[in-house]
Structure formats: structure tokens, C-alpha cells
Structure 1
Amino acid sequence: MNILVCVKRVPQTGGRIVLTPDGQSIDTRFLGHTISPHEECGVEEAVRIVEKEGGTSAVLTLGPAEAEEQLRDAMAIGIDRAILLETGGTEWDPVSTAGVIAETIEAQEATNGEFDLLLFGNEAADTGDYQIGVRVAVALGRPVINGIKEIWFSDDRREVLARREAPGGGWETFDLPLPAVLGVKEGLNLPRYPSVPGRLRAKKKEIERVALGASPSGALGLGAGEDAAGIDSAIPGPTKLRLRLPAEERTAAEVIGRGPEAAPAVVDLLERIGVVAR
């Protein structure tokens, strides 16, 4: 089995979100970054499949040069090779992103052979677009199912079977001919942590880089009048107006004492909430 996992560099949860002055994006300078949780499961699944079935695994991302960190994390877990479609750090729209990824996959397959399975996260943790995997599958003419939480193969290895939770309870099982595309969800597996030897091996591996620039225009040698998905650029697309942060909820705080003098007040408080009894 030859498996490709597509991942995205996203801010870690728990950090304080700050917007850029123009309100168009999140200021990520002081945030830690990681791979979306769904995609972490995709990386783990690719490694498990190759460990069991043989073959090779690859990881691909479109993003800034700093996304090398996430690619090396994936290789530290066991992914064989990595491809970085390097942008200027700006967020591309789903149509352009999917178009460039689809063209890159075609180029990779022309050189290295066909991927049996493409794994995407069900949706990115930051934008939640739910589009990239489906758009890539349509561009490549391959069957696709999203929301997958279990994967296995037919005895002849010509089909992949995938299961997802059904609305209202129960499970839906799908049978897709290979090559296929799956959008996987957190809960598919329990991703392993990279080992120290794995990190050392990943640090030495080469990453294949494709410089795209900050804009989809002209990416991968597209013709005039087309965007990265081969769509007439005269067709208007959505325009982001601005991002807004939700109002912060502030909770009142009361100082009940300082130092040893606060002990009686603490005991009184614990009694009132039922933690201790006299």
C-alpha cells in the first residue's frame, strides 16, 4: 500500500488568540503550532497500514516554511517522506488549496507511482472548511467518504472498507475501490508520541519543497485566466470581510485574606460549599 496523508499546520488550542490589525487573520507569532487532531489520526493510520501491509507512506502540507516542523513530527512517528508546498504564509482559499494539492499528487504519482489511499482530516482545526479532501477527490476522479473512524481492506486489497457514525446512532460502512480518498476523524486510533530515535531520524531526512509564493496565481505553471483549481478566474469567489473575537467573559474575584490570616476564611468557604464539615 502506498499512502499519502495531507496535513495542516494549525495553532495549538489553549493559547490567547490575537488578530492582525487588519482583522483578516490570526496573529500566530506567539502561538505554538501542531497538526489538526483529525490529521494526527490520519498520520498514525498511514503508519499502521504500511507496518501491516508493506509499501510506503508520505505526508504533504501546504503552508509557510515553518510547517517543516509538522512534517518532521509526522516522519518521527514513522512516515517515510514529506512534501512541503511552501507559501508566503498567507491563508489560501479551499478551491486554490485543493487545486494545487491535486496537481501535486498527479505529479508525484507520475514520478513515484499511484497512491492507493489518500487520507485527509475531516476538517481543519482552525478554519473547519470540510472541503479540501472532497475537492481533491473530485479533481482526481476518485471515490471519497468523510467522517471515517475505522478502516480495513478487502482480502484481495483492491477495495478499502470504511466505517463512520450514522446520524441518530449506529454505523455506516462503505466499500470503495482503490485508489480512494478518506476524510478521517479523531477517534480513528490513538496516535503514538514520537520517540527520541524517531525524531533524530526525521531530523536527517530531506523534505521535498515546492515554492508556490504567497498567491495561488501562477502556482505550478497554471495558464492565464485559471486559478489553482483550473477554474476561470473571472468567476467571483467569496471575500473575507474580517474576523471577530467573541466577547471575553470576565469573572469576579474576591480577596478573602492574605497569608496565614486567610486560613479561617478558607475553612469557612470550604464548609459553605460542602467540602469539609466541622
Structure 2
Amino acid sequence: MRVLVCVKRVPAPGAKINITDDGQAVDATNLGHTMSPHEECALELAVQLVEAHGGESHVLTLGVAEADEQCRWAASIGITKATLVDVGTMGWDPQRTATALIEAIRSIEEADGTFDVIIFGNESADTGGFQVGIRTARALDRPMVNAIKGVSISEDGTVLEAQREIDSGMEVYHLPLPCAIGVKEGITWPRYPTMRGRLASKKLAVDVTGSEAAPGGQTMVRLNRPEEQVSETIILGEGAAAAPAVVELLKELGLWS
């Protein structure tokens, strides 16, 4: 089985994000980077699929040269091959990004064979566009389902069963291979790299390519950073003396009659 995972280098979730003065980019000064939580789970899923069914796993990312870090992290947990499409920026629109990924995937498949499963994170942690995976799968003429929380492969290795959570339980899809899926955080638990894995990742030969993909129809006007909302903590009292104040607060909130 050949499995490809597409990941994106993003600012570390939870970090304070500052915008450049012109409103066109994230100020990366002193800002840590990682990959989206969905994609960390996607990498783990790829490793587990190969462990269970044999074959090889491949990671693909598009962005800046520093995204080599994410390729090597993937290798440290068991991904065996890596490709970086270095376009010098993380700010490409989803259409342009998908076009570049399609070119890279076709090139890899021409050389090494078709991927049975292509895995995307449900959406990236920075832009949250929900588009790149679907655009890529459609152009490659492969069935795809997003928001997946469970995966299994049929005994004959020809069908992938994907489970998606809904309010009343699970939707189940049967996708003939080759196919693509978009997975959500929690489909599996990412493993931590071992020392042996970290050492092996330093030896990984990351295949670096470029792309001349044309811009799509979407144009960013500017980035807006919402104003911070500061919460003030009010101490109502201590011990039994706080009870009357608590009662009054509950009445004010309509929770006490």
C-alpha cells in the first residue's frame, strides 16, 4: 500500500499571532511553527496503515524552505519519503496550492506508482479554507470524503471504509482505491518520535521541487486580527459570607427564581 499525506507548516496553535504593518502577512518574529493538529493525526494514520498492510508512506508539503522541519518530523515518526514544494511563501490561495500539489502528486506517481490513499487534514489551522484536499482529489479523479474519524481497509485491499461523525451516530462510506480522505483530529493519537526516529530523520533525503502554478481567482485583501477580549475576575467573597452574593448573581443570570 502506498499512502501520501499532505501537510502544511502553520503558526503554532495557541500562540499570539501578530500581523505585519501592511496587513498582508503574519509577523513570524519569535513565532514557533508546526503542522495542523488534523495533519499530525493524518501522519499517524498513514504510519499505521503501512504497519498493518505493508508498503510505504510519503509526506508532501508546499510552502517555505523551513517546511523541511515538518518533513523531518514526519520522518521521525515513521514516514519513509518526503517532498517539499518550495514556493517561498505560505500565503498561496487554495486554488494555486491545489494546482501545485496536483502537479507534484502526478510527478511522484509517474516515477513511483499510484498512491492508494491520499490523506489531508480536514482543514489547515491557519486559514481554515476546507478547499485544498477536495480540489486536489477532484482534479485527480479520486473519490473523497472529509471530516473522517475512522478508517479501515477491506480484506482484499480494494476498498477503504471511512466513518464520519454525525449527530445521530456515524455515516459510513466505502471508497474504492485509489481514493482521498480528509481526517479530523482524534482519528488516532499521534505518537512521539523516538531518539532513533529523530536520528533517522536527519538522514532523510527530502526531494525539493518548485512550482509555476498560476494564481487562482481568490485574492486576499488583508489580514485582520480581532481585538483581544480581556476577562475580569471578580471575587464574590470567601466561605459562607459569599453565599448571598452568589444567590444575587444567579438571580441576575435568570438561574434562580
SS of structure 1 residue aligned to 2:66: helix
Alpha-carbon spacing, 1:198–1:240, altered in 2? closer, same or farther (3 Å): same
- Equivalent pair of 2:5/2:60 in contact (CA under 8 Å): yes
Alpha-carbon spacing, 1:270–1:52, altered in 2? closer, same or farther (3 Å): same
Amino acid in structure 2 at the alignment position of 1:185:
K
2:41 and 2:152 mapped to 1: Cα distance?
15
2:87 and 2:109 mapped to 1: Cα distance?
22
Per-residue deviation, residues 181-218 of structure 1 (Å, max 9, x unmatched) = 00000110011111111001001111000034xxxxx3
State the partner residue of 1:151.
151
- Equivalent pair of 2:148/2:164 in contact (CA under 8 Å): yes
Structure 2 stretches lacking a partner, 5+ long:
244-257
1:95 and 1:104 mapped to 2: Cα distance?
14
Q: Aligned-pair distance for 1:169? A: 2.2
Which deviates more, 131-140 or 239-248?
Answer: 239-248
- Equivalent pair of 2:93/2:219 in contact (CA under 8 Å): no
Q: Aligned-pair distance for 1:17? A: 1.2
SS of structure 2 residue aligned to 1:171: strand
Amino acid in structure 1 at the alignment position of 2:27:
D
Per-residue deviation, residues 26-75 of structure 1 (Å, max 9, x unmatched) = 11222111110111111000000101100000000001011111111110
State the partner residue of 2:225.
245
State the partner residue of 1:223.
none
Q: TM-score, normalised by structure 2?
A: 0.89
State the partner residue of 1:258.
none
State the partner residue of 2:249.
none
Alpha-carbon spacing, 1:53–1:24, altered in 2? closer, same or farther (3 Å): same
Alpha-carbon spacing, 1:147–1:90, altered in 2? closer, same or farther (3 Å): closer
1:253 and 1:51 mapped to 2: Cα distance?
50
The 4+ residue runs of structure 1 with deviation greater than 4 A are 251-254
The aligned runs of 1:211-222 (5 Å cut-off) are 211-212=210-211, 218-219=212-213
2:63 and 2:134 mapped to 1: Cα distance?
19
The aligned runs of 1:131-142 (5 Å cut-off) are 131-142=131-142
Alpha-carbon spacing, 1:252–1:42, altered in 2? closer, same or farther (3 Å): closer
- Equivalent pair of 2:13/2:125 in contact (CA under 8 Å): no
SS of structure 2 residue aligned to 1:60: strand
State the partner residue of 1:222.
none
State the partner residue of 1:261.
none
- Equivalent pair of 2:78/2:197 in contact (CA under 8 Å): yes
Determine if the alignment matches structure 1 residue 71 to structure 2 residue 87: no
Structure 1 stretches lacking a partner, 5+ long:
213-217, 220-226, 255-265
2:233 and 2:48 mapped to 1: Cα distance?
49
SS of structure 1 residue aligned to 2:210: strand
Amino acid in structure 2 at the alignment position of 1:144:
M
Q: Aligned-pair distance for 1:269? A: 5.8
State the partner residue of 2:174.
175
State the partner residue of 2:190.
191
Report the identity percentage.
47
Q: TM-score, normalised by structure 1?
A: 0.82
Determine if the alignment matches structure 1 residue 123 to structure 2 residue 123: yes
